[in-house]
């Protein structure tokens, strides 16, 4: 009797699986599959009760010799994306115009789609976990053509094109050694957080997307104008810049093509519905070229998955994990653990004072060209005091770069020959943020110059150091100039 009830329970549980909506159907693809190292379990050995289950490995469940059911999962990631479409279609002439534009460029679509194959499974999986429309997985086509190293003329960076300030608002670190706006996992998390917040503000996905491109403040003002004028409060009725006017139609065009590629004479490349990469812990500093060698992949392929590392070395205190193609993760761990040679040939150094690049290179025994290249210093720029720089790691240096330096180290530059040290006094209720705004300085640079937190509340009269360029004077109250310039700035 007990065995009979057990069979009934199993049958009812399995039958319940068949009525799940499409999004839940794919929920077996857990983010923990990507975020958790699985060096001892290969995809072919994965079992259904493990977090690192491969979707393509699910088999029919049997009791005795009779199979009860087989879980049907999409083999192709495009099919999975189609099943999760949930946004209202934007049926406008501009959207159709963009469909024509993209479909007339099949080679461009092919390149973008092939590039996306490394990242798309992870993005779709994250979107489904949040129960968001899967159209959002196509947004990097519009933002960056799925290039995680893309940089716009306005300094937006990464696959999701975060501006520096917005990136910091969503905890994307940007320092001398890494830029999380380019990190595949971190930037995806931040982008989806931002999009969820915007949808919560406007309760409309088209308006949320417009705000992602144009800013929520601008969209809010445009809606207020329409409300005052008695105009409709929809995306198509807003008075907005041309870029934003084209933004949602572009996404709609990509959606239309993905929904029915044959209709538009497009053949999308096959993207399997399983993870492309997994994360592996990084416990020691290691050169980028060495990491690629240990993983037995090309440096180009390594950088495609780890684009946030913008220097020739990976600092484990700042980048605790790296992404590798699924089959290479275990290879890397085995080689990393058994390698007996030198892993990192670079370390970090703090500039003790403002200095020319040539002087800094000479001080540490490098050629100026090599020093500029390693630290990405453009011509005619001077290094400011307190800057974090990469220098060759001697055999005497045993310790890896410290967590604090790896996490907050900044490279601060100024035009050669025009930098002077200025000290200003804080007023009542001043904070680091208000001082930075008042004196037109970067908040993170101001905090680093003074070895303070960016949210520090200052005491009245507290002295704050900053570096001014050219002959412009600070607008602070009581100030002290450096020895090279005794004159006080104008009040």
The CA angle 404-407-408, to the nearest 5 degrees, is: 85
From the CB of residue 83, how many other CB atoms can be counted at a distance below 10 Å?
16
Residues 6+ apart with CB under 8 A from 423: 463, 464, 465, 466, 479, 480, 481
Nearest to 181 by CA among 308, 53, 2, 362: 308
Where on the phi/psi map is residue 139: left (φ > 0), alpha (ψ -120 to 50), or beta? alpha
DSSP 284: S
Task: Say if residues 295 and 331 touch (Cβ distance below 8 Å).
Answer: yes
CA dihedral 105, 110, 115, 118 (to 10 degrees): 140
CA dihedral 369, 371, 372, 376 (to 10 degrees): 140
Measured CA to CA, the distance from residue 75 to residue 56 in angstroms comes to 7
Most distant CA pair in the chain, distance: 97
From the CB of residue 42, how many other CB atoms can be counted at a distance below 10 Å?
14
Measured CA to CA, the distance from residue 240 to residue 220 in angstroms comes to 11
Nearest to 212 by CA among 227, 230, 193: 193
Phi, then psi, of 253 in degrees rounded to 5: -65, -45
Residues 6+ apart with CB under 8 A from 75: 56, 272, 273
Task: Print burial letters for 289-308: b (CB count within 10 Å at least 16), e (below 16).
Answer: ebbbbbbebeeeebbbbbbb
Residue ranges of E strands in 377-485:
381-383, 388-392, 413-415, 419-425, 463-469, 479-481
Query: Sign of dihedral through CA atoms 29, 323, 254, 252?
Result: positive
Measured CA to CA, the distance from residue 54 to residue 275 in angstroms comes to 8
Nearest to 424 by CA among 484, 464, 452, 456: 464
- Residue 225 has which token pair? 């104008």
Catalytic residue among 143, 330, 337, 399: 143
Nearest to 212 by CA among 190, 182, 234, 181: 190
- Give the 3-state secondary structure of residue 248: helix
Active site residue 143: yes
- The H or E element spanning position 161 is none
- Residue 52 has which token pair? 């690192």
What strands, in cross-sheet order, belong to the sheet with 479-481? 463-469, 419-425, 479-481
Active site (catalytic) residues: 143
């Amino acid at each position: 009797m007990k065995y009979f009830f057990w069979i009934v329970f199993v049958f009812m549980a399995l039958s319940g699986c068949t009525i799940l909506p499409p999004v839940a159907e794919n929920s077996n693809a857990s983010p923990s599959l990507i975020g958790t190292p699985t060096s001892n379990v290969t995809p072919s050995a994965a079992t259904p009760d493990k977090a690192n289950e491969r979707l393509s490995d699910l088999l029919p469940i049997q009791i005795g010799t009779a199979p009860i059911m087989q879980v049907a999962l999409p083999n192709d990631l495009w099919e999975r994306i189609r099943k999760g479409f949930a946004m209202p279609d934007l049926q406008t002439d501009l959207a159709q115009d963009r469909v024509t534009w993209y479909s007339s460029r099949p080679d461009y679509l092919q390149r973008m789609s092939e590039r996306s194959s490394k990242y798309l499974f992870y993005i779709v999986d994250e979107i489904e976990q949040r129960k968001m429309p899967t159209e959002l997985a196509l947004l990097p086509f519009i933002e960056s053509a799925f290039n995680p190293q893309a940089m716009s003329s306005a300094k937006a960076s990464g696959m999701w094109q975060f501006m520096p300030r917005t990136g910091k608002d969503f905890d994307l670190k940007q320092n001398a050694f890494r830029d999380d706006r380019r990190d595949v996992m971190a930037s995806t998390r931040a982008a989806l957080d931002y999009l969820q917040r915007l949808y919560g503000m406007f309760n409309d996905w088209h308006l949320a997307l417009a705000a992602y491109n144009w800013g929520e403040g601008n969209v809010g003002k445009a809606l207020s104008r329409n409300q005052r004028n008695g105009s409709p409060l929809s995306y198509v009725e807003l008075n907005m810049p041309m870029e934003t006017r084209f933004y949602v139609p572009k996404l709609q065009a990509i959606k239309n093509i993905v929904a029915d590629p044959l209709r538009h004479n497009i053949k999308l490349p096959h993207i399997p519905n399983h993870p492309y990469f997994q994360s592996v812990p990084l416990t020691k500093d290691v050169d980028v070229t060495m990491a690629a060698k240990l993983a037995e992949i090309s440096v180009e392929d390594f950088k495609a998955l780890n684009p946030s590392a913008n220097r020739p070395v990976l600092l484990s205190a700042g980048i605790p994990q790296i992404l590798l193609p699924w089959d290479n993760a275990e290879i890397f761990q085995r080689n990393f653990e058994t390698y007996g040679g030198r892993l990192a040939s670079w370390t970090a150094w703090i500039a003790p004072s403002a200095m020319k690049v040539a002087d800094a290179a000479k001080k540490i025994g490098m050629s100026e060209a090599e020093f500029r290249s390693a630290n990405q210093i453009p011509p005619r720029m001077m290094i400011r005091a307190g800057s974090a720089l990469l220098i060759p790691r001697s055999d005497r240096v045993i310790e890896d770069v410290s967590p604090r330096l790896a996490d907050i180290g900044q490279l601060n530059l100024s035009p050669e020959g025009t930098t002077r040290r200025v000290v200003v006094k804080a007023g009542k209720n001043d904070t680091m943020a208000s001082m930075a705004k008042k004196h037109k300085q970067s908040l993170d640079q101001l905090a680093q110059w003074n070895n303070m937190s960016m949210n520090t509340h200052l005491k009245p009269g507290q002295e704050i150091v900053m570096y001014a360029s050219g002959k412009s004077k600070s607008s602070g109250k009581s100030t002290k100039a450096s020895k090279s310039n005794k004159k006080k700035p104008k009040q």
